[in-house]
Amino acid sequence: MYSLRNQSTRAALAAVYAALLFATGGAGADTLVSGQVQTGSWAQANSPYRVVGTITVPPGHSLTIEPGVDVLFDANVQFIVQGALLAVGTSTDSIRFLPNTDVQITQWAGIRISGGETSRFHYVRMSGANATGSAPDDRGGAIYAFDDGTTIDVENSVFSGNRAATSGGALYVTNGASITLVNTMVIGNTAANGTGGGLAVLTGQGNIANTTIARNSASGQGGGAYASASSLTITSSIFEWNTATGAGGGLLLSGSGASIVSAVFDTNSSGNDGGAICLYNASTVDISSSLIERNKSSDEGAGIFANAQSIVTIDDTPIRRNRSSAYYGGGGIYVDNATLTMTSSVIEENYTTGAYGSGAGIRASNSTVRVFDSPLTGNRATGSNGNGGGLYAYSCDLILSRSPVTNNFANDEGGGIALWNYGTAIVKDSPVRENEAGTLNGGGVRVYNRPNVTFDNSPIVGNTATLLNGGGIAVTAYSNVRLIDSPVDSNFAGQHGGGVAVWDNGILRLTNSSVDGNESAQDGGGIYIEAAALTMLNCSVTRNTGVHGGAFRLVNTGTGTKTVSLMNVTATENVATGTGGGIRAFQASATIMNSIFWNNLPIEFYTDESTISATYSDIAYEFDVWPGDGNINIDPLFTDPFNAVWFPGIGSPAIDAGN
């Protein structure tokens, strides 16, 4: 698991850091160096090597620095490598590149590497480098590498306290060069006016393994690392406590691709998008067996932000306790015009606090979203207009499968899920439980403005719309919702529709589903329909409670597409404290066929300027038999009403009495 791997990574790197931090060079005589250096070696016996002028290793030459050597800079100059530099220390004899504070030098100008060869840095510490001046001298505080084929091989090393005036506080790789970091620490470096506080890779390649990139900062993007038109591979590594004034507190990808395996992104922060990871300009990232936790963003996507045709693939990776304070939100993940695929992960305890901060777990707009086997739990959208505590999707193509949505909160609408503005959504085998909408509608689910939505085998249970409508689900504005094998049970609404509320031309179809044990503080304990359409087939509506309409409250239905059709529906033991235990209708019409309305209190139907057309149904009507072909008024002899088994029992007059 990621946790065990990264515990060992932390321990190993701590040992490396301690060894390099306190290591000292050899005690030989000082050696002053400057100018061109031909192929040869710098030996420990002659350490420290004091750099008094610019060093150049010309093309075709290589310089070997032996274990235990200190390279001290007596001047603020560069170390230029046009051939190869082989600085290979050991765990007991490291190599250090430092400013010579004994002669009041506080910085040096870094190493510049080109020429298409491989340079190695093993058991090396580089500190106090400062890249300044005009481009490209202002990039790559400790190392600046460029040219096709130029390869930087780093193992068991520490880069700390380096600075670049623009980008790549410690390391900058560009123009076809590549860098490999293994068992290395990149800590406390600064990109003062650019990107990549620790590492910047532009049109190059980076491989990062068992490495910590921590406490780096960038005034622009990519507090820990930045990649543009490049590829990164990150394995068993830690990005923590990095900051970016712009986007991508931990990592920013722009037109780049990254593979991230067994990594931790913890407590990074950004002033713009993507507290941990940010993807711009059709970037791709594949994240597996990792952890994205406790990151913060002053804009969208505290955990992950992706836009502009970017592709995010996540597997076996918790996204938790991230916090966005942005106007629009996305505490865990924010995708805009992008693609998100998530499997076997969890989105939990993420927050959005901005005024319209929606989607505390996931916020998606104009995107394709696929979530499999990944619970969304305990996320909170606390802003005054925050919608979709677990998930907010705006004009999206969404599939949510085997992914429970539980214990989420939205201060405004859609405590668990909010689906907005066209788009399609399929929610399959994914219970929506114990969510809450604070001030408006849809404790479990809110659907608004024309999405087409299907819930299949996805119970909506135990949710609360504290002040308004639709404790389980609220549907409006020409939205089209189907519930198949999806109970709506034990929900509460502070106004109408304890289980379901549909109004303003919404459309709801329920098949093979129960609406049981819901409660509304006002009308429609089970279902509230106003100027909207409802179709039910093979359903039960039982034990619901409201003021008017224990089971159903119908208002302004029956014209145009605003129809109510109930077929093979059993409604029983619903209670209205006012009128209409079964149905309370005002200026409404409904069609009932092959159904049972029995033992609803105080009476089955209460109509006002309304028409209820029933055929082949068993209705407990106080005036003999409800008008209509094939209707009866005889006890249906439910199989086991004490245990909520509402099927007609042996000898029931309702058996084979329908049409």
For 573-632, how does the pLDDT look when each residue is reduced to its tens digit (9 = 90+)?
999 999 999 999 999 999 999 999 999 999 999 999 999 999 999 999 988 999 999 999
Distance CA 191, CA 22 (A): 26
Tokens coding 654: 């309702």
Which of 299, 328, 356 finishes a domain? 299
Residue 375, preceding peptide bond in cis (omega within 30° of 0): no
Task: Tell me how many domains the chain contains.
Answer: 2
Phi then psi for 53, rounded to 5 degrees?
A: -155, 175
Would residue 538 count as lying in a domain?
yes
Domain span including residue 634: 479-659
Condensed to tens digits (0 to 9), the pLDDT of residues 370-411 reads 999 999 999 999 999 999 999 999 999 999 999 999 999 999
3-state secondary structure of 12: helix
Q: Does any domain span residue 196?
A: yes
Q: What are the beta bridge partners of residue 537?
A: 511, 567
Residue 282 has pLDDT above 80, yes or no: yes
Domain termination site, one of 241, 275, 299: 299
pLDDT tens across 194-249, in order?
Answer: 999 999 999 999 999 999 999 999 999 999 999 999 999 999 999 999 999 999 99
In 209-220, which positions are buried (b, 16+ CB within 10 angstroms) versus exposed (e)?
bbbbbbbbbbbb
Question: Quick one: tokens of 60?
Answer: 């075709």
Euclidean distance between CA atoms 482 and 201, whole angstroms: 49
CA Rg, the chain, in Å? 33
pTM greater than 0.85: yes
Q: Are 88 and 63 in contact, with CB atoms under 8 Å apart?
A: no
pLDDT digits (tens, 9 = 90+) for 137-155: 999 999 999 999 999 999 9
Mean pLDDT of the chain: 95
| Each residue's pLDDT tens digit, 283-304 | 999 999 999 999 999 999 999 9
Domain assignment present for residue 618? The answer is yes
Whether residue 86 is contained in a domain is answered as yes
In 3-state terms, what secondary structure has residue 468?
coil
Specify if 199 maps to a domain: yes
Which residue reads 């250096």 in tokens? 37
Query: ∠ at Cα 263 (259, 268), nearest 5°?
Result: 105
CB count in 10 Å sphere of residue 405 = 32
pLDDT tens-digit readout, 527-567? 999 999 999 999 999 999 999 999 999 999 988 889 999 99
573: in domain? yes
Percentages (nearest 5) of helix, strand, coil residues in the chain: 5, 45, 50
429 Cβ contact partners less than 8 Å away, ≥ 6 residues apart: 401, 402, 456, 457, 458
Report yes or no on 373 lying in a domain.
no
**Rounded CA gap, 505 and 366, in Å?**
24
The separation between CA 286 and the C-alpha centre of its own chain, rounded to angstroms, equals 14
Is the alpha carbon torsion for 547, 548, 549, 555 positive or negative?
A: negative
Q: What is the SS3 assignment for 141-163?
A: CCEEEECCCCEEEEECCEEECCE
Note the Cα 581 to chain centre separation in Å: 44
pLDDT tens digits, 15-65: 555 555 545 555 567 999 999 999 999 999 999 999 999 999 999 999 999
In angstroms, the CA 287 to CA 309 distance is: 17
Confidence grade of residue 91 (pLDDT, cut at 50, 70, 90): very high
Residue with tokens 């502009």: 308
Last residue of a domain, one of 299, 324, 353: 299
The one-letter amino acid at 586: F
- Split at pLDDT 50, 70, 90, the class of 1 is very low
> What phi and psi, each to the nearest 5 degrees, are found at residue 46?
-105, 10
* 405: in domain: no
pLDDT digits 0-9 by tens, 160-198: 999 999 999 999 999 999 999 999 999 999 999 999 999
Indicate whether 272 pLDDT > 50: yes
Distance CA 276, CA 405 (A): 24
Q: Which residues pair with 265 in a beta bridge?
A: 239, 292
Answer whether residue 4 shows pLDDT above 50: no
Q: Is the pLDDT of residue 655 over 90?
A: no
